[in-house]
Amino acid sequence: MDIIRNKLLSHRGGEVYKRSLKLDDQLHALDAMNAELTHVRNNIEDLSKSLHELATESLKTIEGKIERIRSDESGQMIAIRADIETFQHEIQKGR
């Protein structure tokens, strides 16, 4: 193999051979970059899915808290209205 390579390098086609080796190295580098890019894209997709799931869980948690607060406030409003009615009756009795 070395003999053939040396003959090719010694002839006029040596420059073409050198360029072909350089292009071959660049092609291998591009293949490696493409593989890394694919890996990064997959990671981005996985992270996006995780973020979506986390956001969905957080939203459900917040909605649950809001519902509990509304329920508590509703119960408090009923109790306050009952107290107001009681006070109004007592005021009416006192007159």
pLDDT given for residue 55 in this prediction: 97
Closest CA to 21 of 8, 3, 35, 36: 8
Q: Which amino acid is at 52?
A: H
For 10-47, the pLDDT digits (tens) are 665 667 778 888 999 999 999 999 999 999 999 999 99
Q: Name 8's Cβ contacts closer than 8 Å, sequence gap at least 6.
A: 14, 17
pLDDT given for residue 57 in this prediction: 96
> From the CB of residue 8, how many other CB atoms can be counted at a distance below 10 Å?
15
For 41-86, the pLDDT digits (tens) are 999 999 999 999 999 999 999 999 999 988 888 888 888 888 888 8
pLDDT given for residue 21 in this prediction: 87
The domain locations on the chain are 2-94
18 in Cβ contact with 27 (< 8 Å): no
